[in-house]
Amino acid sequence: MPGWLRRHRGIIPYLFLVPGGLWLILFFVVPLITTASVALQEGSLGTGYRLTFNFGIFVEAIQSWDTQLVRSLQFGLIVTLLTMLIGYPMAYTIAFRGGRYKNILLLFVIMPFFTSFIIRTISWKFILADQGFLLGTLKDIGILEPSFRLLATPVAVISGITYNFLPFVVLPLYVALERIDPRLIEAANDLYASRHQAFLRVTLPLSIPGVFAASLLSFIPAVGDYLNAELLGSRNETMIGNVIQRLYLVNNDYPQASALSLILMLGILVSVFAYRRILRGQELTV
């Protein structure tokens, strides 16, 4: 260690932080500021942009795309609920009943990540196809009406997103459940709690931090998702992500697109902090 560094030891942590911190400022904070300034500009690619502090654009964006905003929020909430309903029992089973199969079960949970997200979504498109092996067979047997379809319906989009983010939910739930001291549950049983009571009064409250992390890991990407709506849905299932993507990459309407992405980000941050409040309150009252 050179002499000057030894004399100024307080500098060391900052040296460690500089490269990564600068990178995040340059490619995360600065782009967000740029986005905000683009949103407040008026003009077009041809005529150039001028900063006019047109705050009305946020109101305008919300009014023009309210259907998609509300739909994204609804889909996000439904997906979060579904991933939780499917994922919690699974995480519980792996944590408390997994035994020597624990590692292999966890491996099964993360294995979908070994295949590209986009290939898996295209696979679902194929599985859910109107005359695919699933619906086609059911229609041939006569269980389903010939006109029945899943593709291009909200069901297809929601189940696609649910599938994509399920592993993100199982892992943090597993970590939270695994940490629970089994003696606490035994103690509840000793005190004549039924299995339901022990679960509701001991296991569930102790797993709340995991529930919090897991629901965010499903809600945030679900609200912003546009691939599932594009590949599995129709024009009636477009989400806010599809709008932002089209405005930026197809229409080149940068101010409107920037305003919408800021609205999406702020909306998510506000709900995350509100949600944390609610869960904290819950923890105290249970």
Partner 1 sequence: MAASARTLTSGSTPDRRRPLGQRIGRAILPVYTGLVVIYLFLPILVMAVFGFNDIEGRFNFTWQGFTLDHWQNLFSRYPALNQSLINSLVVGIISTVVATTFGTLIGLALTRYEFRGRGPLNMLIFLPIATPEIVLGASLLALFVSAGVSRDLTTITLAHIMFNISFVVVTVRARIAGFDRAIEEAAMDLGADEWTTFRKVTFPLIFPGILAAALLAFALSIDDFVITQFTAGQTTTFPLWVYGASRIGVPPQVNVMGTLIFLIALVGIVIWLLLQRRTMSASPTTNEH
Contacts of 279 (CB under 8 A, 6+ apart): 208, 211, 212
By the rule CB under 8 A, 202 interacts with partner 1: no
- Cβ distance to partner 1 smaller for residue 46 or 285: 46
By the rule CB under 8 A, 85 interacts with partner 1: no
By the rule CB under 8 A, 32 interacts with partner 1: yes
By the rule CB under 8 A, 224 interacts with partner 1: yes
Smallest gap, in angstroms, from Cβ of residue 58 to partner 1?
Answer: 15
Closest CA to 112 of 169, 174, 153: 169
Smallest gap, in angstroms, from Cβ of residue 137 to partner 1?
Answer: 12
- Site residue total, partner 1 (CB under 8 A): 88
By the rule CB under 8 A, 167 interacts with partner 1: yes
Smallest gap, in angstroms, from Cβ of residue 28 to partner 1?
Answer: 5
Contacts of 229 (CB under 8 A, 6+ apart): 157, 237, 238, 239, 241, 242
- CB neighbours of residue 173 within 10 Å: 27
What is the residue-wise DSSP string for 190-251?
HTT--HHHHIIIIIHHHTHHHHHHHHHHHHHHHHH--HHHHHH--GGG--HHHHHHHHHHTS
The SS3 of residue 118 is: helix
- Cβ distance to partner 1 smaller for residue 185 or 206: 185
Smallest gap, in angstroms, from Cβ of residue 256 to partner 1?
Answer: 12
- Interaction residues for partner 1, span 126-165 (CB under 8 A): 126-127, 129, 132-133, 163
Query: What is the rounded (10 degree) CA torsion for 254, 26, 72, 132?
Result: 90
By the rule CB under 8 A, 166 interacts with partner 1: yes
By the rule CB under 8 A, 34 interacts with partner 1: yes
Smallest gap, in angstroms, from Cβ of residue 95 to partner 1?
Answer: 11
